[in-house]
Amino acid sequence: MEKTDLKKILSVSGEHGLFAYVAQGRNGIIAESLHTKQRQLLGANAKVSSLADISIFTDEADIPLRDVLAAMAAKLAQGPAMDPKGDPKAIKAFFAEVVPNYDEDRFYVSHMKKILGWYEELRTFASLEFVEEEAEEATEGPAAEKAE
């Protein structure tokens, strides 16, 4: 299976599930649901976040979501995650193992549940192996434009 580029995986406020960036349209972004494969236009007012831009608050520096998902995959041996609707204490205990120094004042159970859902959706419909950031920059950065 192909590696997942988290820059092209989108979370859209108010929409269920994750989306893959397809193209820039005249009136917004064209994205495809990872689950249903249906494409839709996300208008200029849509609150869209790339998973590559999301990080988790810790007591020291913030940890990129990519690292949290990788730690979850390692802990779960690429297997299924716990049910996001399960016991909040069990969810907190799981994240305490995966991100031992997470900031309890700013990283809420609601965030953890969302990440569990994202993990499961990526595991099912994409890949838990991610494109490396250095490789992304080499192919998408200014140097790549000069080479063309």
147, part of any domain? no
pLDDT score recorded for residue 2: 86
Report the percent of the chain where pLDDT is more than 90.
78
Q: Is residue 87 part of a domain?
A: yes
Name beta bridge partners: 25.
Answer: 28
Average pLDDT over residues 125-132: 90
- Please report whether residue 39 resides in a domain: no
Is a pLDDT exceeding 70 seen at residue 108?
yes
- Does 141 score more than 60 pLDDT? no
Residue 29, domain member (yes or no): no
| Domain total of the chain | 1
Flag whether 114 is in a domain.
yes
Average pLDDT across the chain, whole number: 88
109 part of a folded domain = yes
Q: Write down the pLDDT at residue 25.
A: 86
pLDDT bin (cut points 50, 70, 90) of residue 146 is: very low
Q: What is the pLDDT of residues 15-59, one digit of tens each?
A: 989 999 999 988 999 999 999 999 999 998 999 999 999 999 999
Query: φ, ψ for residue 28 (rounded to 5)?
Result: 155, -155
The CATH number assigned to the domain holding 88 equals: 1.10.10.1650
Query: Which one has a higher pLDDT value, 145 or 48?
Result: 48
Look up the domain containing 105 and give its range: 54-125
| C-alpha–C-alpha distance, residues 90 and 120, integer Å | 17
Q: Which 3-state string (H, E, C) describes 61-125?
A: CCEEHHHHHHHHHHHCCCCCCCCCCCCHHHHHHHHHHHCCCECCCCCCHHHHHHHHHHHHHHHHH
On the question of pLDDT at 134 being above 80, the answer is: no
Can you tell me the mean pLDDT for 75-99? 95
Residue 140 confidence (pLDDT) above 90: no
Q: Is residue 65 part of a domain?
A: yes
**Does any domain span residue 77?**
yes
